[in-house]
Amino acid sequence: MDFMCVQKDVENYIKERNFEEAIHKILECALDNEDNLNFDKSNENYFDAHLFKLFTVLKSEKLTEIYKNLCEIFILMKEPGLIAHFITAEFETGGCNAFYAGQAIFYLIKNYKLDYKDFYCNFYNLITPSCIDKYSNEILSFTKIILADPGISLLCIKSYIKKLARTSLDTTSQNCYNILLLILFLIKINPLCGIMAHSQSFDCSQDDLEVNFEHFQPYLFELDILEKSIDPIKSVVHNIRNESQYSRIRYKKEVLLSENTFKDLNIKIFKGIIKSFYE
């Protein structure tokens, strides 16, 4: 693919305000050519200015395809941080592309050293029944990646486990089942979180239903409710209870973080990040 020609085409489309074709050309360049990962940046055929223009003039709903593929598009930019302001604004305000913006921010943090300390707090806010219903396994697989990062605190992981458990009560049976599998996974790689599955470990004399990133009742009473659900859900709840009895790591993280674990995500883009977790 002749990147100079593509760049010129995009430039002309933007001048003509034919933004749809400009977006199509950028996506074609980023996705359709297997050689784009080895894009020679020495020729300075970047798309920084074009993307900045698109983010400036278009509303978020017109940029959905761009947001979906930002991690690939960053490869075609000299300074991906140039559009970080737009992405973080979409993420923080919970816009229509907030989930994809969250993926892009995490990618920038890990690959371009973006300084964004509130990532986990803000992504936590996306763990809602409506988001789970909309993105299903895609958002759960990505949540699995970010919580597998050994650099985050145990309290953060517990906070997410609690939010996931609460969300499981208000979604479909299939999504509830998948959420419970994610909780089981998190307890497997963080066995100290297993205590959350046992009521005798906490003072549950007073109900505290408030759940936010920094304040929550650690006991997963949601499991008590789900034990009365359909058989597949009851089975996973049983596995969580059983797994939570162990207080030592019994699994190699590199086995749990296999490609099959993240089949709903673009593993090519996140593979390097995942591998760094257990090196």
**pLDDT category, 96, cuts 50, 70, 90?**
very high
- C-alpha distances (whole Å) from 112 to each of 15, 71, 98, 108, 185 are 30, 11, 20, 5, 28
pLDDT per position as a tens digit, 105-134: 999 999 999 999 999 999 999 999 999 999
Give the angle subtended at the CA of 103 by the CAs of 150 and 99, to the nearest 5°.
120
Give the angle subtended at the CA of 93 by the CAs of 265 and 174, to the nearest 5°.
40
**pLDDT at res. 6:** 82
- Whether 38 has a pLDDT exceeding 60, the answer reads no
- The whole-angstrom separation of Cα 27 and Cα 105 is 19
Find residue 211's DSSP bridge partners.
Answer: 216
Find residue 216's DSSP bridge partners.
Answer: 211
**pLDDT at res. 217:** 83
- Closest C-alpha among 133, 134, 156 to residue 146: 156
Determine the average pLDDT of the residues in 229-238.
96
Residue 11 burial by Cβ neighbours in a 10 Å radius (0-12, 13-18, 19+): middle
- Whether 275 has a pLDDT exceeding 80, the answer reads no
Least confident of 94-98, 158-162, 248-252: 248-252
**SS3 of residue 46 by DSSP:** coil
What is the average pLDDT value for the chain, to the nearest integer?
86
- C-alpha distances (whole Å) from 188 to each of 53, 196, 218, 253 are 45, 13, 17, 9
- Whether 242 has a pLDDT exceeding 70, the answer reads yes
Q: Domain ranges in the chain?
A: 1-126, 127-274
Higher pLDDT, 189 or 178: 178
Most confident of 34-38, 40-44, 89-93, 132-136: 89-93
- The whole-angstrom separation of Cα 187 and Cα 176 is 17
Cβ-proximal residues to 251 (8 Å cutoff; 6+ apart), any chain: 188, 189
pLDDT per position as a tens digit, 163-176: 999 999 999 999 99
* Helical spans, DSSP H, in the chain: 3-15, 19-31, 48-57, 64-68, 70-73, 84-92, 98-112, 119-124, 129-135, 137-147, 154-168, 173-189, 222-226, 231-243, 253-256, 267-276
